[in-house]
């Protein structure tokens, strides 16, 4: 018997907050992607915790799909980063100001 | 303080001491890794800290009887996604320290901290006020139905209840592959321009240092290679750069 699920939820909330701060504060696009992964992991941890608390396997199935979406997102995101880097020579989000109209 | 938290965790649940210790260690690993991702000046260190966090989450998955997801977490996240991150970091040659003290937008960081703090307090307040987790257990698809293994139950759920979503992820992956190929390949006319240019440069200088193409952005700061790239791309995208 694992410990009370509330502790898992608090930990997941803290992990999500750290990822959100990183996403808002950091300027390197690659690190921003990693922070998105942190937030996705916090959501996964919440899903698995609720899956155990409610005795429903559906939460784990959702985590399975989140993993697939995260993999696809990283592939496309890094492809965009490589494409931008060919033109701008840095991976800072500020360099994308050329996209404005 | 940590001991007090562990004691409180033992008293408020039916857990044993090893469970609590596992959770405490994994939680510490997760939080240290997450802070490492955010605060590392070097992107490579961020990626390695991300591995730490992912392993900690995998440990907590095992702790909560989600063995299949723990294995997938390690294989897909730590084995594929982080490797992809590291590959792109090395390929682009951005594996050096950056100045994380610089704040180009004044007041953005305090604002970010305040907003996230508000969101965190909101989540914790919702957690403290809600009672849904003590509701009735699910009738179908239990995590421990009939003593079946986690892999059996999860596979049955994915291939029956969530079959349409599963097929949709297959389509999503195909779209992602096609999109990655489209993003990564250069238009053929740019390639020909670049080949012509590099051939001309080799004839003039005779050094041929850039002909291999591999050490382009590696040890130098990479700036001196860029004008040739920009010049090669300029005819096609000149107005976009101005």
Residue A100 lies in a domain: no
Residue A56 structural domain: 5-95
Report DSSP letters for B124-162, one per residue.
Answer: HHHHHH--GGGSPPPSSS-TTGGG--HHHHHHHHHHTTT
Looking at every residue in chain A, the average pLDDT score rounds to 87
Residue B220 lies in a domain: no
Residue A23 lies in a domain: yes
Residue B106 lies in a domain: no
Collapsing DSSP to helix, strand or coil, A28 comes out as: strand
pLDDT for residue B58: 95
Q: Is residue B151 domain-shared with residue B37, that is, in the same domain?
A: yes
Please tell me the number of Cα atoms within 13 Å of B163 on its side-chain side. 4
User: What are the per-10-residue average pLDDT scores of chain B (242 residues)?
Assistant: 59 73 93 94 92 94 91 90 91 77 77 92 86 53 68 90 93 93 77 66 48 43 44 43 39
Question: Which residue did the predictor score with more confidence, A17 or B103?
Answer: A17
Residue B241 lies in a domain: no
Query: What is the tally of structural domains in chain A?
Result: 1
Q: Is residue B168 domain-shared with residue B149, that is, in the same domain?
A: no
- Helix crossing, B108-129 with A5-25: angle to 10°? 160
Tell me which residue of B84, B62, B97, B81 sits closest to A38, measured CA to CA.
B81
Q: Is residue B44 domain-shared with residue B89, that is, in the same domain?
A: yes
Q: Is residue B152 domain-shared with residue B177, that is, in the same domain?
A: no
Assess contact for B64 and B23: CB atoms under 8 A: no
Q: Within the 64-123 window of chain B, which residues sit less than 8 Å (CB to CB) from chain A?
A: 64-66, 68-69, 72-73, 76-77, 80-81, 84-85, 88-89, 91-92, 94, 98, 100, 102, 104, 108-109, 112-113, 115-117, 119-120, 123
Residue A65 lies in a domain: yes
Q: Is residue B6 domain-shared with residue B45, that is, in the same domain?
A: yes
For position A60, which CATH number holds? Answer: 1.10.287.3510
Q: Which residues, in sequence order, are CB contacts of B141 under 8 Å at separation 6+? A: A56, A57, A58, B153, B156, B157, B161
Run of H or E residues at B164 = helix B163-184
pLDDT for residue B230: 44
What ipTM describes this predicted complex? 0.90
Q: Is residue B185 domain-shared with residue B67, that is, in the same domain?
A: no
pLDDT tens sequence across A20-55: 999 998 888 899 999 999 999 999 999 999 888 888
Q: Enumerate the β-bridge partners of residue A28.
A: A92
Tokens of A26: 């950091």
For residue A63, give the chain B residue with the closest CA: B69
For position B71, which CATH number holds? Answer: 1.20.120.1200
Tell me which residue of A46, A57, A65, A12 sits closest to B132, measured CA to CA.
A46
Run of H or E residues at B182 = helix B163-184
Q: Number of residue pairs across A and B with CB atoms under 8 Å?
A: 255
Q: Is residue B41 domain-shared with residue B151, that is, in the same domain?
A: yes
pLDDT tens sequence across B151-160: 888 998 999 9
Q: Locate all alpha helices (DSSP H) within A1-101, ordered by sequence.
A: 5-25, 29-54, 58-88
- For chain B, list the strands marked E by DSSP: none
For A62, A92, B68, the CA distances from A43, given in Å and listed in that order, are 10, 27, 17
Interval A59-82 mean pLDDT: 91
Q: Is residue B148 domain-shared with residue B199, that is, in the same domain?
A: no
Q: Which residues, in sequence order, are CB contacts of B19 under 8 Å at separation 6+? A: A1, A2, A3, B63
Q: Is residue B148 domain-shared with residue B177, that is, in the same domain?
A: no
Residue B169 structural domain: 162-205
For residue B43, give the chain A residue with the closest CA: A31
Q: Is the dihedral of CA B112, B116, B117, B122 positive or negative?
A: positive
Residue A101 lies in a domain: no
Q: Is residue B201 domain-shared with residue B147, that is, in the same domain?
A: no
- Chain A interface disruption, residue of B116, B127, B148, most A CBs within 10 A: B116
User: To the nearest whole percent, how much of chain A has pLDDT over 90?
Assistant: 50
C-alpha span between B124 and A13 (Å, rounded): 7
Q: Is residue B78 domain-shared with residue B35, that is, in the same domain?
A: yes
Instruction: Give the number of other CB atoms < 10 A from CB of residue A78.
Output: 24
pLDDT tens sequence across B118-157: 999 998 888 888 765 455 555 445 666 567 788 888 998 9
For residue A3, give the chain B residue with the closest CA: B15
Please tell me the number of Cα atoms within 13 Å of B121 on its side-chain side. 6
Q: Is residue B92 domain-shared with residue B175, that is, in the same domain?
A: no
pLDDT for residue A84: 82
Query: What is the tally of structural domains in chain B?
Result: 2
pLDDT for residue A73: 92
For A4, A6, A53, B132, the CA distances from B17, given in Å and listed in that order, are 13, 17, 20, 27
């Amino acid at each position: 018997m694992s410990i009370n699920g509330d502790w898992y939820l608090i930990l997941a909330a803290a992990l999500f907050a750290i990822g959100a701060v990183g996403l808002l504060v950091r300027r390197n696009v690659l690190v921003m992607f990693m922070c998105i992964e942190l937030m996705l992991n916090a959501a996964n941890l919440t899903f698995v915790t609720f899956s155990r608390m409610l005795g429903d396997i559906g939460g784990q199935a959702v985590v399975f799909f989140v993993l697939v979406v995260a993999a696809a997102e990283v592939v496309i995101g890094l492809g965009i980063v490589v494409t931008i880097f060919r033109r701008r020579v840095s991976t800072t989000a500020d360099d994308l100001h050329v996209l404005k109209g | 303080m940590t001991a007090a938290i562990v004691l409180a965790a033992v008293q408020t649940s039916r857990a044993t001491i090893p469970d609590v210790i596992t959770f405490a260690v994994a939680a510490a690993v997760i939080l240290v890794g997450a802070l490492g991702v955010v605060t590392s000046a070097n992107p490579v260190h961020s990626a390695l800290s991300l591995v730490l966090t992912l392993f900690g989450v995998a440990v907590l998955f095992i702790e909560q009887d989600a063995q299949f997801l723990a294995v997938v977490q390690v294989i897909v996240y730590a084995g594929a996604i982080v490797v992809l991150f590291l590959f792109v970091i090395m390929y682009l040659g951005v594996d050096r320290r950056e100045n994380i003290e610089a704040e180009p937008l004044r007041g953005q960081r305090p604002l970010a901290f305040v907003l996230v703090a508000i969101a965190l307090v909101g989540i914790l307040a919702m957690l403290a006020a809600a009672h849904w987790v003590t509701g009735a257990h699910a009738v179908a698809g239990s995590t421990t139905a009939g003593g079946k293994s986690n892999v059996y139950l999860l596979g049955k759920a994915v291939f029956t209840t969530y079959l349409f979503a599963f097929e949709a992820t297959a389509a999503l992956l195909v779209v992602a592959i096609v999109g990655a190929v489209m993003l990564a390949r250069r238009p053929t006319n740019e390639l020909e321009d670049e080949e012509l240019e590099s051939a001309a440069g080799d004839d003039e200088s005779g050094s041929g240092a850039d002909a291999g193409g591999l050490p382009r952005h590696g040890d130098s700061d990479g700036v001196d290679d860029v004008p040739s790239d920009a010049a090669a791309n300029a005819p096609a995208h000149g107005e976009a750069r101005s």
